Amino acid sequence: MKIQPLNNNVLVQSIKMEEVSAGGLVMVHGSHEKSNKAMVIATGEGRILENGVLVPISLQPGEEVLIPKHAGTPMTLDGEDYLMLKEDDILAVVEVG
């Protein structure tokens, strides 16, 4: 299924936390909270100002972002869990590498 967010909406998918810590410790299920990192899957065109000017979304599919723990509208598409957020709800872009 293909989905195209409208306006300044952004579809993201939560990135699962590592099961092994950086120090090599195995994380026990349920011992850590939901990750606040997500991958941008799709974006709308942007928001339209009162004067009719379109301000494009600054995010691109494939970017890793930080989101608030309880933000967005959860949804399931083709058996996968996603969140739909407003661009303004996204806290930061994480540069990988």
Rounded mean pLDDT of 53-82?
94
pLDDT of residue 30: 54
pLDDT for position 63: 96
Does the global pTM surpass 0.85? no
35 lies in which domain range?
A: 9-17+28-94
Which of residues 19 and 59 earns the better pLDDT score? Answer: 59
Residue 2 lies in a domain: no
Number of domains, the chain: 1
Q: Which residues of 57-77 are buried (b: 16+ CB within 10 A; e: fewer)?
A: bebeeebebebeeebbeeeee
CATH of the domain at 48: 2.30.33.40
14-28 pLDDT, tens digit each: 998 666 666 777 665
Instruction: Give 34's pLDDT tier (boundaries 50, 70, 90).
Output: low
